[in-house]
Chain A
Amino acid sequence: MNFLSFLKVALTAISRNRLRAFLTILGILIGVGAVIAMMAIGNGAKAKLEAQLNSMGTNMLFIHPGAITAGGVRQWGAGQKFYPSDVKAVRQNCPAVAYAAPSIEKVETATTGHENWTTQIIGVDPDYFIIRNWNVAAGRLITHQDVSGGALVCLIGQTAMQNLFGSEDPIGKIVQIKDVPLRVVGILAKKGETPFGQDQDDCIMVPYTTLMRRIIGTPNIGGLMVSATSSKNIPEAEAEISALLRQRHHLAPWQPNDFMVISLNSFVQMKEAATSVIMLLLGSVAGISLLVGGIGIMNIMLVSVTERTREIGIRMAVGATEQDILMQFLIESLALSIAGGILGMILGSAAAIVISKVAGWNVVISPSSIILAFTFSAGIGIFFGYYPAMKASQLDPIEALRYQ
């Protein structure tokens, strides 16, 4: 007996009990739907995360004052302060570092005379734009001359620009921050959100020297922002910077670091860990419903075998072998589980599209997830259908024929 004949017999048997068949495949349907949705959402979220990380800059490292323990109390950011000279030292002494810039920021209110807007004021030097892979949409960047002269110029992010100038062209106009008048020389290109939900376009950039001396009034910078020569060199850059700073801070070998070097990759890992928790959760929902679905199929197939004992006897009496009966029931459960799988794929894809629309990322329904879902449901059909099919094939023809 060939496969098509088996399939026809199986489909006839299923179509005799449509409602029951549908209820049976519900578990598989939900399970496969969850797998598809989970993978699509996971891939979409990952793609978005990657795009956001690229917007922050590549191969980045942040250096901050570390925690020190004073009187048994650990104080974050209370370690040794950083100065512009540290940036210079890192540039000169760390071969694995491509670019280094001071990192100094302050939240202040900017005014244009008729509008006020509280925003992030970022102190920059030309390396900053390279590290962050950022350029202007109009106007010019902040130059070395601006930095060395402490020029009263600024670049404006697009969110801050909208709130301060509306639709007006801001270039050449004056923005006042703490009574310091700054001339807008450029509009920053749009960046979007960081993976942490911060609007990167809500900022005003000034030469870091201007920010230190004129706006904040401090001799030190908040920290350093550095890019490694390649992603492979990030650990090396980290080691070089640590060694250099320990030396500059005169730390004895037994003393812990009084600074922190954090790579962007560690943020990525954090973020990815959070996503994978969600994935794991969805995955277990999928797994459990697939398991329950499989048990449902097994249950219904056992009922079906009992109901059709006489039919099995008749088939055996006219020459069906054990193998024929086994195949008949196995294909029936396979047909059920694959039907559930296909419906689940449709449902899961629909759910993924809806969720992605809401969350605002691209749906990524990969062929591999379709193949995975398909093999999974087929596997479940075979695994959970095998025992009932085996039971059917082991029936004694005489007993089966006598069954009422």
Chain B
Amino acid sequence: MSLIRLEEIKKDYRLDGVIVPALQGINLEINQGEFFCMMGASGSGKSTLMNLISCMDRPTSGKYILEGEDVSQLDKNALAHLRNKTIGLVFQNFNLLSSATALENVELPLLYGGVPAVERVKTAKQLLEKVGLGDRLHHYPTQLSGGQQQRVAIARALVNSPKILMADEPTGNLDSQTSDDIMAMLTQLNKDGLTVILVTHEPDVARYSKRVVLMKDGKILKEEKR
């Protein structure tokens, strides 16, 4: 059984009464432990697809089977629960709370998962140590470099031990050296059994993946296995 199965997924946006088809029938299976990468021109629908897989959004039509369960028409609460427990998200612009320290940012998913305070701090510390920021616990995002901020974001994405880590252009705002560090970290996490789904524009980054899908105009154009 595959971890993720998409069947004829379509997504339309409505802009001033005009229907913009962003995804036009996506069929895709992703297995447990894969390092999956999406590429494609700007506007080809990569982010739209990522939002659907990460349960941030619902498809206009089609079926999304996650861990054997159809989640394509779940209500907002159930989707929030999946984002909290099953899926970890990493963004191009890190999306950390600027008013919270690194530790508090990493604690956030535990907070919404109902974990008690003491345990929250302990787990969040462990994760920050794992990404090499054990000495930056009480730094605010503005006091951290871009690479460090992205590592805080990765720690946050992993703190609830999700099945899937999804990263939409995680290295888009980083220099090549830092990008390599981040990608090395994702590769290591994947080796430890985490399913990683990645969107990127850079072939250098896509190299880390064994399975690359190329998108065009809301469709999968071709798939490459290495």
Contacts and interface: CB of A to CB of B under 8 A. Distances in A.
A92 interface: no
A335 B157 CA distance: 31
Interface stretch (A19-27, A181-189, A252-260, A318-326): A318-326
Contacts of B114: 1-2
A310 B83 CA distance: 17
B156 A318 contact: yes
Contacts of B113: 319
A318 B84 CA distance: 5
A205 interface: no
Nearest to B78: A321
B18 to A, nearest CB: 18
B77 to A, nearest CB: 5
B199 to A, nearest CB: 14
A320 B99 contact: no
B51 A321 contact: no
Interface stretch (B33-41, B104-112, B175-183): B104-112
Residue from the set B77, B111, B114 with the largest chain A CB neighbour count within 10 Å: B111
Interface of B is mostly: helix
A322 B109 contact: no
A315 interface: yes
Contact of B77 (A313, A321, A397): A321
A133 interface: no
Nearest to B83: A319
B167 to A, nearest CB: 13
B210 interface: no
Contacts of B130: none
Interface string A329-340: 000000000000
Given A311-B97, A318-B89, A398-B56, A5 B117 contact: yes
Q: How large is the interface on A (under 10, 10 to 19, 20 to 34, 35 or more residues)?
A: 20 to 34
B57 A398 contact: yes
Interface in B43-101: 51, 56-57, 76-77, 80-81, 83-85, 89, 91, 95-97, 99
Given A1-B112, A398-B51, A317 B77 contact: no
A318 B57 contact: no
Contacts of B109: 318-319
B56 A315 contact: no
Given A319-B81, A397-B56, A401-B91, A314 B97 contact: yes
A75 interface: no
Contacts of A318: 83-84, 89, 108-109, 112, 156
Contact of B112 (A310, A321, A397, A401): A321
A114 interface: no
A193 B57 CA distance: 77
Given A1-B111, A1-B112, A317 B89 contact: yes
Given A5-B117, A321-B76, A398-B57, A315 B99 contact: no
A247 interface: no
A316 interface: yes
Contact of A320 (B85, B89, B112): B112
B112 A324 contact: yes
Interface in A259-313: 310-311, 313
Contacts of B111: 1, 5
B112 to A, nearest CB: 4
Contacts of B96: 314
B119 to A, nearest CB: 13
A241 B96 CA distance: 87
A314 to B, nearest CB: 5
A311 B114 CA distance: 19
A200 B83 CA distance: 81
A12 interface: yes
A12 B84 contact: no
A324 B77 CA distance: 10
Nearest to B156: A318
Nearest to A314: B95
A315 B108 contact: yes
A318 B80 CA distance: 8
A377 B80 CA distance: 33
Given A1-B114, A5-B117, A321 B80 contact: yes
A398 B49 CA distance: 12
A16 interface: yes
Nearest to B82: A319
Interface of A: 1-2, 5, 12-13, 16, 310-311, 313-324, 397-398, 401
21 contacts: A1-B112, A5-B117, A310-B95, A314-B97, A314-B108, A315-B97, A315-B108, A315-B112, A316-B80, A317-B95, A318-B83, A319-B83, A319-B109, A319-B113, A321-B76, A321-B77, A321-B80, A321-B81, A321-B112, A397-B56, A398-B56
Given A314-B96, A320-B80, 17 more contacts: A12-B99, A310-B95, A311-B99, A314-B95, A315-B97, A315-B108, A316-B80, A318-B83, A318-B89, A318-B108, A319-B80, A319-B83, A320-B112, A321-B80, A323-B77, A397-B56, A398-B56
CB-CB nearest 8 A-B residue pairs: A319-B84, A319-B112, A318-B109, A321-B80, A319-B83, A320-B112, A318-B108, A321-B77
